[in-house]
Structure 1
């Protein structure tokens, strides 16, 4: 394949907002920032839906508050031993010699840092889930390269184990699993907002009680009977895919990125509404970010500024979480009112689609 084989696929993209956002990752001297976000999607009703949440955020003094709780990228490697005794002994050696492994990673990369190694023994198989810091990159290739070096070092110790695979699926990459939420993978972000009752009733045409009840009945109970894995939300994937495509992310990462929990409470002073996204796999450097339109979008988002390693990616993740909250709030509010969701879709799609 050469450059002449490459074609451009057009995806409608619109800047939505601005959103009013605050939080440590949104580095600003003011109490909040107002930032428009790019959404690339064929589901064009998503733009006004997220836009409604964005405009509501501008009525709240602090807007949407975001907090980046943690960050890491993982790769799990697989070794094969003669039996479980040998696999367990090798697992203990890996944990005891972690500082040596950390030196291996630091010597081979300017940005990668080994945080931990989590071993699991299954029969004669030894899985080791390595967790790394990767700066502003999402880090897929960086951690694979580091894990290659780590496997070579571990095999050189003469522990009686053999190479199994550079990726053992315990990572877990682009699959809906529980381990990512438990041990962490990507940026872990929470976005939250407190809406006065008057705003809920005037802008969303509903009440805090109805939104909170629906969040429990639909997102928590409905997702549970569906067999969801550490996930209880209405449509995180919609906002994430649109944001991923506009900013050069690996779109397949919405498989784990869209696992998250929406939580709502009726309080005396209004509706507390939050979206927790524990594994957003995003970056501001790396493959796809060199494209002219992607680079321009990242610059406009303020994610190309000179900051400490990782700060631009954390800012991007926080903006994504805030955008998810806008779309999630708007959709759930619409679903508290019979007929509103379908009526809105029909109206918006007819406006966007030319008649035959």
Structure 2
């Protein structure tokens, strides 16, 4: 006899820990916060914890700046030929205000803010960009794109529907377009560490860490054929943070495309993580689960704020978490054997 279970009542348990606090300030959040990470890679916890501890040894801590906020969906239509596709682009741009009003009339929170296009033969890809309030925006942008496609096809002869998503978005795939044009929250997290902190707490020097970053993250990634990415392991921290806060975990694919910088400034260390594709939300699917509700409340993302402010706050905290783990790992990798010793010690502890 078999028993069927509703997906709404079945859960996969992932170990979770609260780490910190980390010190952060910026245009979306300021304060000291413990951070949740859900992961089976338990050595990640002490690594991020070390980065968080270092953040408290400076007055400013981690400075997180949210640069941009937009979600995208690209429709695909077939035209009779390339000239009709090009004319369609002009038509859409000329009537952009009308299309923006169409989207606004259909949703309280979705706003059309920009448009990009590509033409390949007789295929037209229209990449619409939206703000979606505190939601990550997957469904909101798809609904808006459906409405926009219907209006465009009704208004312009010689076009035929192909798909509401033509992969020029780009959703959950490694690409250059997201880093260039933006998808989700674009956040830069930075920290300045005095020489003595680097040497005493990270057991390395600014010069060694900066050299490793250039040779590993920049040259190594280039040799590997990386796309718009130069970092050690953003995906580790993002997956743990996404699972703990109810995000669509598959978005770590584009989310982990980011750039780490490390500069030796007369022995002091400037360190930054740029994450141009953070797709997070504080409302929507998955946010009703008890552990997610607890996490978002504890992170201060359940307070009354202007639309989008809680999601930007969450994105800044995600970026700061990434910086903590990235800094700690790169510091460890400047010392032979340290990474493996840490993994062996902590994995045995958590068996």
Q: Please give the range of the TM-score, normalised by the shorter of the 2 chains.
A: over 0.9
For the Cα contact (< 8 Å) 1:244–1:250, is it kept in 2?
Answer: yes
1:67 aligns with 2:70: no
> What TM-score do you get using the length of structure 1 for normalisation?
0.96
Partners of 2:95 and 2:114 in 1: CA distance: 11
For the Cα contact (< 8 Å) 1:94–1:117, is it kept in 2?
Answer: no
Question: Which position in structure 2 is the counterpart of 1:91?
Answer: 89
> What TM-score do you get using the length of structure 2 for normalisation?
0.98
Q: 2:329 aligns with which of 306, 328, 331?
A: 331
Can you give the 5+ residue segments of structure 2 that lack an aligned partner in the other structure? none
* Aligned pairs for 1:1-356 within 5 A: 3=6, 6-26=9-29, 32-268=30-266, 270-353=268-351
Deviation at 1:96, TM superposition (A): 1.2
For the Cα contact (< 8 Å) 1:118–1:130, is it kept in 2?
Answer: yes
Which secondary structure does the structure 2 equivalent of 1:37 belong to?
strand
Partners of 1:124 and 1:287 in 2: CA distance: 37
Can you give the 5+ residue segments of structure 1 that lack an aligned partner in the other structure? 27-31
Deviation at 1:7, TM superposition (A): 1.7
Partners of 2:181 and 2:204 in 1: CA distance: 37
| Runs (4+) off by over 4 Å | none
Partners of 1:267 and 1:164 in 2: CA distance: 53
Deviation at 1:245, TM superposition (A): 0.2
Deviation at 1:3, TM superposition (A): 2.9
For the Cα contact (< 8 Å) 1:20–1:58, is it kept in 2?
Answer: yes
Judge which range, 3-12 or 163-172, deviates more. 3-12
Deviation at 1:2, TM superposition (A): 5.9
Which secondary structure does the structure 2 equivalent of 1:8 belong to?
coil
Indicate how the Cα distance of structure 1 residues 4 and 260 shifts in structure 2: closer, same or farther if over 3 A, else same.
closer
For the Cα contact (< 8 Å) 2:207–2:267, is it kept in 1?
Answer: no
Partners of 1:17 and 1:36 in 2: CA distance: 5
For the Cα contact (< 8 Å) 1:87–1:124, is it kept in 2?
Answer: yes
Partners of 2:27 and 2:9 in 1: CA distance: 40
